[in-house]
Chains A and B, each alone.
Chain A
């Protein structure tokens, strides 16, 4: 509501009063997420203290799960109900498939997918060898091209999203903990700049909706804090998996702007920055949203 306090002249008092009147709506739902999984119950931290750099911005950070309706939230409580699990299974089939030019599978080098436990929680990160900022898609493609000798997978292809779903699930329940200092700092700063830039003919930044107005309704949509700890997510509206990179494309497009491409340096930096805003929330593995 900060935006409405910056009024000019005699209009200020009226506008401020109205802005405050409008702020009382639709907070995140108070609820707790414990997922019934094959291996037992998994407790998910969906609300926690903000990272230090957001201490003056939010009292608490919330997973997008808190902003969805009862039906959608319930779908994530049990793996039998979670439609994203189909894509995890497809990912597991690909993991074990001998698809490399030399007959390699992912399992040939990495054994079971559980060897990936913890990775999703620290992504994106700067690769120690190259100094480049990597999103999970980059690591998958490095294997696909360099070790398996295949053409690289599309950043938002079905193959890629199935694999991301499988790998992400291995870190379910672990706290997001992406590094923002050291070699990550310049990428993080770039992502932050994008987050606060008002793009397109609608002149909207990520912050306009997800920082200033989270909890409010934009028509029938309940604006969340824009956290990505739940991604990849099964999006009911799309009847399929959506990655953070894809969602960024959709959001920027909706401002009537020229988007950045999924997998571009700009959106990788944005993913690092947005992920860091959720440091402390649990990786949800594969979430459900609408």
Chain B
């Protein structure tokens, strides 16, 4: 194998394989709902977190939550508590746990679990209405969860 090809295959593997320190959905440890360690082993990017939270096809958090710090979001939902001051009310670990699987903090909450892959009733293949095979891909990946958490901790009143 030429050194050029060898290099290419290393790059391909690096892309295909999650970072070595990434925590898979089934391996997340919740302590009273909170998740202490970063799912990626690194801090997230708050600007990217805003994109995840305001994009329909990603987190779409604004479908239910209002965020005073994001006044340009049109028609934020009213179903769930406003997120202003979330960074005061919760620790980073608690926020991570709530985003990953809020049901570990609020029993029976309406909020979907964004980092959960099985245990669903009639799991679907995305929004196709067809059957999906568990484990499903989580709604958000580890990096996206960390990006959202990185933004939420900045929401101080």
Give me the interface of A with B, judged by CB distance under 8 Å.
3-4, 6-9, 11, 14-15, 18-19, 21-22, 25-26, 197-204, 208, 212-213, 216-220, 223, 249, 252-259
A123, chain B: closest CB distance, angstroms: 25
B139 CB contacts on chain A under 8 angstroms? 201, 256
Contact B78 A216 (CB under 8 A): yes
Chain A binder among B42-50, B127-135, B143-151: B127-135
**Cβ–Cβ < 8 Å partners of A14 in chain B:** 89
Task: Let me know if A208 and B105 touch, CB within 8 A.
Answer: no
A270 to B131, CA, bound (A): 20
B62 touches A203 (CB 8 A): no
Q: Which chain B residues numbered 77 to 92 have a C-beta less than 8 Å away from chain A?
A: 77-82, 89
A to B CB contacts below 8 Å, 14 in the list? A7-B107, A11-B105, A19-B81, A22-B81, A200-B121, A201-B124, A202-B112, A212-B110, A213-B110, A219-B62, A219-B75, A256-B124, A259-B124, A259-B129
Q: Which of B109-133 contact A (CB under 8 A)?
A: 109-110, 112-113, 116, 120-132
| Beyond known contacts A21-B81, A213-B110, A254-B127: 11 more, CB 8 A cutoff | A3-B106, A6-B106, A11-B33, A200-B121, A201-B139, A202-B112, A204-B110, A204-B112, A223-B79, A256-B132, A258-B125
A219–B116 Cα distance when bound, in Å, is 23
Quote the shortest CB–CB distance from A102 to chain B (angstroms): 39
B82 neighbours in A (Cβ, 8 Å): 18, 21-22
In the bound complex, do residue A219 and residue B106 qualify as a contact, i.e. CB atoms below 8 Å apart? no
> Which of A8, A11, A219 touches B63 (beta carbons < 8 Å)?
A219
Partner of A256, one of B62, B105, B126: B126
Q: A8-B33, A257-B124, A258-B131 are in contact. Are A22 and B78 (CB under 8 A)?
A: yes
Q: What number of B residues sit within 8 Å (CB to CB) of A?
A: 41
A186 and B123 alpha carbons, distance in the complex (Å): 26
Q: Which residues of A contact B75 (CB under 8 A)?
A: 217, 219-220
The interface residues of chain B lying within 8 Å CB-to-CB of A223 are 79
A213 touches B107 (CB 8 A): no
Interface residues of B in 38-67 (CB under 8 A from A): 60, 62-64
- In the complex, chain B residues whose CB is within 8 Å of the CB of A217: 75-79
Instruction: State whether the Cβ of B108 lies closer than 8 Å to any Cβ in chain A.
Output: yes
Q: Given B32, B107, B132, which contacts A258 in the complex, CB threshold below 8 Å?
A: B132
B74 is an interface residue with CB less than 8 A from chain A: yes
